């Protein structure tokens, strides 16, 4: 049984004259802002990079607090009066866990805000303020080795300084 070629074209490949649904003014403005060269892409990219580094730093802090600190030999360390030598690893581990968790939360908020800055340009002030505030707060969790916090701060400042093009 040989294959035979057919001259007919499937109905799904025929041309249709569909008209696109009209969009709202907000949708048209958002699309126009995304296509403009003045779109705050640099601010969003810097904040995205900063947020990722903050999340990485927080995860490393939590990993060190969970797997490294509890197994450190403390026989050669002088402990201040009033602190039990056996409770010191738990204290340091708990402190690093809190700092790492705070760094993870700040990094996640900066990352989401930077993504929303890319997605919804109309609210650039809100996203810029969130990026800036949580980048500064991330210093409590050492701000993604300080580099992530600095990238986030610069991205937040650039987002706040951006002005939409005059129409």
- Confidence (pLDDT) at 82: 85
Give exposure, 121-133, as e/b (b: 16+ Cβ within 10 Å): beebeebbebbbb
What's residue 73's pLDDT? 83
The DSSP secondary structure of 38-63, one letter per residue, reads TS-HHHHHHHHHHHHHHHHHHHHHHH
Alpha-carbon distance of 110 to 149, in angstroms, equals: 10
Mean pLDDT of residues grouped by 10 in the chain (167 residues)?
A: 55 57 64 61 95 96 92 83 84 92 96 94 92 96 92 96 80
What is the per-residue pLDDT for 67? 93
pLDDT at 19: 56
Q: What is residue 78's predicted lDDT score, i.e. its pLDDT? A: 85
pLDDT score of 4? 58
- Residue ranges covered by each domain of the chain: 39-75+85-161
């Amino acid at each position: 049984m040989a294959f035979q070629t057919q001259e007919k074209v499937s109905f799904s490949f025929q041309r249709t004259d569909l008209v696109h649904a009209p969009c709202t003014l907000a949708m048209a403005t958002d699309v126009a802002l995304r296509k403009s060269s003045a779109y705050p892409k640099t601010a969003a990219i810097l904040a995205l990079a900063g947020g990722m580094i903050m999340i990485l730093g927080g995860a490393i802090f939590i990993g060190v607090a969970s797997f490294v600190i509890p197994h450190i030999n403390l026989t050669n360390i002088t402990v201040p009066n009033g602190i039990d030598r056996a409770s010191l690893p738990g204290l340091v581990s708990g402190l690093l866990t809190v700092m790492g968790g705070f760094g993870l939360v700040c990094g996640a908020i900066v990352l989401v805000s930077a993504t929303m800055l890319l997605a919804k340009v109309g609210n650039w002030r809100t996203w810029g303020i969130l990026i800036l505030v949580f980048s500064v707060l991330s210093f409590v969790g050492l701000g993604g080795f300080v580099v992530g916090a600095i990238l986030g701060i610069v991205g937040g400042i650039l987002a706040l300084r951006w002005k939409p093009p005059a129409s």
